[in-house]
Chain A
Amino acid sequence: MSALLAVERVSCRFSGLLAVDSVSFSVAPGTIFAVIGPNGAGKTTLFNLIAGVYTPDAGTITFDGASIGGLPPNEVCRRGIGRTFQIVKPFPGLTVEDNVVIGALLRRPQVEAARAHARAVLRRLDLDDKRSQLAGSLTLPDRKRLEVARALATDPKLLLLDEVMAGLRPTETDRMVAILRGLNRETGLTILLIEHVMRAVMALAGEVLVLHHGAAVAQGAPAAVVRDPAVIQSYLGAEAVH
């Protein structure tokens, strides 16, 4: 099966710092793929390279059969990659519904059609009852779900989630995990997530990539990766496996 997203020997340098060092991986359609690693490992930079915020200094990024490395973020989204931001970026002065309508308008030029789609997405993300609130007034867990809803409304083939569980209580995490798993199962949505919350990674991901100092140190099934000595040393700490 050909990969939906293929990252090949991608590097990104910020003057002296090699933030992403020749990283390669591929994500098969319909799967959930997680990128983990300690703070400063280059996870978000890797995301921003895929999403078009940065241009790779070396390597290629192929999505759905076409090279997307260096395309601007709006074009990447148009090709079918939706993303969330680690530090959530809602449109605070607009209602929850209008936030999602804006995402839906990408592929539905008619406002009414976009609104109908936005309502469906909001129901899916358990935000239907908050849709006429201003996005700026939401609590963090709701903002995180709004972030996912807005990206989802653009009808992506691949959803990039940058630490959507961070700052959530365990019950909120489980709720998000259930929503994402449902999306993946029912719509076949491919998901690439960066996550620190191992509870969520273990529950969701079919495959895990571990980054450390910008380089891939391990890749494989979650259960195997967490037993890898290199991963334990660089990221999880010895006590995590017991």
Chain B
Amino acid sequence: MVAELSADLGVRRGGFILELRLHIGAGEVVALLGPNGSGKSTALRALAGLLRITSGQITVAGRVVADSTSGVHRAPHERRIGVVFQDYLLFPHLSVLDNVAFGPLVSGVDRPEARRRAAEWLARVGIADLDRAKPRLVSGGQAQRVALARALATDPQLLLLDEPLAALDAKTHSLVRTELRRHLGDFAGATLLVTHDPIDAAVLADRLVVIEHGRVVQQGRPQEVARRPRTDYVARLVGLNLLAGRGVGHRVVLPTGGSVELAESAFDEVHVAFRPAAVSLFVHRPDGSPRNLWAGRIAALEPHAEGVRAEIAGAPDRQSSILAEITPSAVAELELVPGREVWAAVKASDIEVYAA
């Protein structure tokens, strides 16, 4: 696959350093996932040319658009990119149609032709009837569609989306996400989607790149990342318990003293992950003990989806904690309250182990 975007870039701003290697093929959608302040917006701005890179090189469709060694820095208008901004930034003084026609118009297309193309794009995103409306009169979901149409109407080779769904309410969110997925599927160039929402990332992207503190901590297909998180942040995003330790046969010894029994053998530095729902809680030490049985204390209880999520402090060892997902009726039966001593059990076969 030809890489439409090939970037190996560094940005240094004050004490913050971003280092990112990224290759996105034609037609591929990559999600850049990270917590606030991880540098994902900085990365997007650097790729767009709104920010100068301090080291490295960016190539879009085979053309070098930024190179710190030779001092090349193409301005955004010379990069053949399309950007959908988080709050869309639709020009308030132009109609919806003229917002979309703006790109073709400034690239030298005459006004009737630019408007014809814009109308075509509005029809493709399903809001042809809004052409004369001013942006302040359209809803959030409609504004998102206008922003997407405006970015795509310039026929970009690289499409950058900055939290494109974050400004939408829950109901519109999933609807617009489904549509966005379709449009990204039709788009021939490379797409980079910046988001902090793992579900948006999993639905929209072919590949995830997770960054924390300006560095890539994990990348891979969404299913891989969801199954085998490599940092606490990713584990929390995908809703798994994650522990790191050293494999010694059918057991992983944690640096904090505890251990986890495995169904398979593991050696060297490994991660172990298991679902909160795989954790069973008991008030009295259960008979016929499962492979992993840890004494702990309920640190917190909070509703989660259909059930209740319990944070168990002191398991597998004093300095660790894990999450357990239980039913509300179990909470009532066992009379679970914060502070209560419990036994947490996990079957060895429910534990995923992989090299760190």
Say if A and B assemble together: no
